[in-house]
Amino acid sequence: MSYLETAHELYKEASQEVQENLCCVEKPAQLLPELTIPREMSSMDYGCGTTVHLGELSSNETILYVGIGGGMEALQFAYFTRRPGAVIAVDRVVEMMEKAKANFKIAEQMNPWFKSEFVNVVRGDALDLPIPSECVDVAAQNCLFNIFKEEDLLIALKEMYRVLKPGGRLYISDPITTQPIPESLRNDERLRAMCLSGALSFDAYVQKVIEAGFGEVQIRARRPYRLLDKETYSIDDILLETLELVAVKVLCKEEEAEVFAGETAIYNGKEIACIDNVGQVYKRGIPVSVSQRIAKRLRQRDDFVVTPPTYHYIGHKSANSSCCCCG
C-alpha cells in the first residue's frame, strides 16, 4: 500500500467517525450574518487554520476546494458565491464526499439561502485534478498538501497553478515545522497522513509554491499547531506551526517572485521622500509594505529602517515595486 493509500484509508475512517484530534486547532467560529454551520460539520473540522479570508471574495468568482472534509469551508465559500456549481469540491475519498454531501443537506435546513447544488462535489485526486486549465478564480486547500512527499507536493501545487486563471489566487493553510523532523517519523505513513510528520520548513514550503510558478506569495499567518513532544515520540520537542498564505498566479521568473511577510521599509533620510525606479514612494517616517527581497536590500542602507516580518500581511498598494534605488 502506498503512503497515499494509507491517507485514503485514514480519511475513510475519519468520515465515518469524528477524529477529535485530527488536524484541527482551537479557533473561533467565523461568524457571518445568516450563516449557521451545522455541528456535524464543525465537529469534522480537519483544517489547521482557515482558507476563507473574508473581505477578499466576490460573488462572481468560481472556487475550487481540494480535500473537502466535512464540507465546512466549502459551505463558507458558497456563502459568498450562492450559485449552482460555483464552488467545486474535489476529494479522492468517496466516503468523505458522501459525508460532506449529507452535511450540506443539513446545512440547507439551517440556512434558507443555501442549496446543496451550490457545491459541486467531484471525485478526483489533488495530484491529477479533474478540472480544465485556467477555469477557476480561487483555489484552496486546508491541511491536505502537507501529507504529500516533496515531489508530490510540487505536483499538487502545479495542478492548482494550472487550473487557476491568470491572476487567480491559491489559498493555503498547512502545517510547517520549525525544526527538521527525523526520517523515522517522516516515513511513518500514518503520522504523515494525520498531518503530523510531513511538514516542511517555512522557507522550503514557500520555495515550493514559487517553484510551482506562483509569482507572488503573501504570508497571512504563522501560529502554533502541534508539539511533537519527547514523551510521545522520543525526540527533542519539535514545534509545528500552521502556515496560512495566499499565492497569486502572476507570471515571472522564479528568482523574481515576491514574498510578502509583513516587513515594512521606513525612509529616514534627509529628503521629504524618496522614490525608487519603479515609482514606489517612501515618505519619510511612513511605513511601506515591502517584499522579503526588497526588505533585504533596504536593510543594507542607513537611510531606511526595515521592520521584521509579522507573518501577517494583508495587502499593499503596489505589488510591483521590484527594487529600490532612490536618492
Ligand X SMILES: C[S@@+](CC[C@H](N)C(=O)[O-])C[C@H]1O[C@@H](n2cnc3c(N)ncnc32)[C@H](O)[C@@H]1O
> Which residues sit at the interface with ligand X, rule CB under 6 A?
4, 7, 11, 23, 45-47, 66-70, 73, 90-93, 96, 125-127, 142-144, 195
Q: Based on CB atoms, which residue is closest to ligand X, 70 or 213?
A: 70
Distance in Å, CB of 153 to ligand X, minimum? 11
Distance in Å, CB of 66 to ligand X, minimum? 6
Distance in Å, CB of 319 to ligand X, minimum? 28
Q: Based on CB atoms, which residue is closest to ligand X, 73 or 216?
A: 73
Reduced 3-state DSSP string for the chain: CCHHHHHHHHHHHHHHCCCCCCCCCCCCCCCCCCCCCCHHHHCCCCCCCCCCCCCCCCCCCCEEEECCCCCHHHHHHHHHHCCCCCEEEEECCHHHHHHHHHHHHHHHHHCCCCCHHHEEEEECECCECCCCCCCEEEEEEECCHHHCCHHHHHHHHHHHHHHEEEEEEEEEEEEEECCCCCHHHHCCHHHHHCCCCCCEEHHHHHHHHHHCCCCEEEEEEEEEEEEECHHHHCCCCEEEEEEEEEEECCCCCHHHCEEECCCEEEECCCCCEEECCCCCEEECCCCEECCHHHHHHHCCCCCEEECCCCCCCCCCCCCCCCCCCCC
Q: Based on CB atoms, which residue is closest to ligand X, 167 or 224?
A: 224
Q: Based on CB atoms, which residue is closest to ligand X, 131 or 210?
A: 131
Distance in Å, CB of 71 to ligand X, minimum? 8
Q: Based on CB atoms, which residue is closest to ligand X, 47 or 168?
A: 47
Distance in Å, CB of 52 to ligand X, minimum? 10
